[in-house]
């Protein structure tokens, strides 16, 4: 299946089996076990609530850890890309960029990236959405999960 075009409005990615199947099942399971604890308190129902909570936390952290690693890889890729694209006098800006800024800047095309980095660093723009809105020529990132 071909990838859909991306833009600021359409770049968020959902994994249907994770977001629309696994998470709702875990949430329903947690709610059901809490209901069973309230209706019939006991050690078994309390343990079921703890296990349901542990399963939800495992799913949350599995996703959070993967996203954190992706952000680190994106930051490394962006530092290499910026070192090749920015004029030497602008190289100090590379170290000044936060991981959040690097993640947002990855959508900018090579032509506009040097100017955009200068604007982001000078204006100390930290919010990813604000940076993404400044991008004129969107470069899609289909590898992000």
| Domains in the chain, number | 1
Distance between CA 42 and CA 55 in Å, rounded? Answer: 20
The residue segments making up the domain with residue 97 are 16-134
Residue 41 belongs to some domain of the structure: yes
Residue 140 belongs to some domain of the structure: no
| 72-110 tens-digit pLDDT | 999 999 999 999 999 998 898 898 899 999 999 999 999
Q: Which two tokens stand for residue 109?
A: 């095309």
Closest residue by Cα to residue 116 from 138, 134, 128, 100: 134
pLDDT at 143: 75
Average pLDDT over residues 122-137: 89
| 27-78 tens-digit pLDDT | 999 999 999 999 999 999 999 999 999 999 999 999 999 989 999 999 999 9
Residue 46 belongs to some domain of the structure: yes
């Amino acid at each position: 299946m071909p990838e859909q075009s991306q833009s600021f409005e359409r770049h968020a990615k959902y994994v249907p089996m994770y977001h629309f199947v696994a998470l709702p099942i875990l949430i329903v399971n947690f709610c059901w076990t809490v209901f069973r604890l309230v209706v019939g308190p006991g050690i078994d129902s309390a343990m079921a609530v703890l296990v349901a909570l542990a399963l939800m936390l495992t799913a949350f952290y599995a996703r959070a850890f993967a996203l954190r690693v992706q952000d680190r890889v994106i930051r490394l890729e962006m530092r290499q890309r910026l070192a090749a694209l920015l004029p030497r006098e602008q190289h100090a800006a590379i170290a000044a960029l936060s991981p959040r800024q690097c993640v947002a800047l990855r959508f900018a095309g090579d032509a506009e990236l040097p100017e955009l980095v200068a604007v982001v660093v000078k204006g100390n723009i930290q919010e990813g959405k604000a940076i993404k809105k400044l991008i004129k020529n969107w470069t899609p990132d289909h590898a992000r999960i």
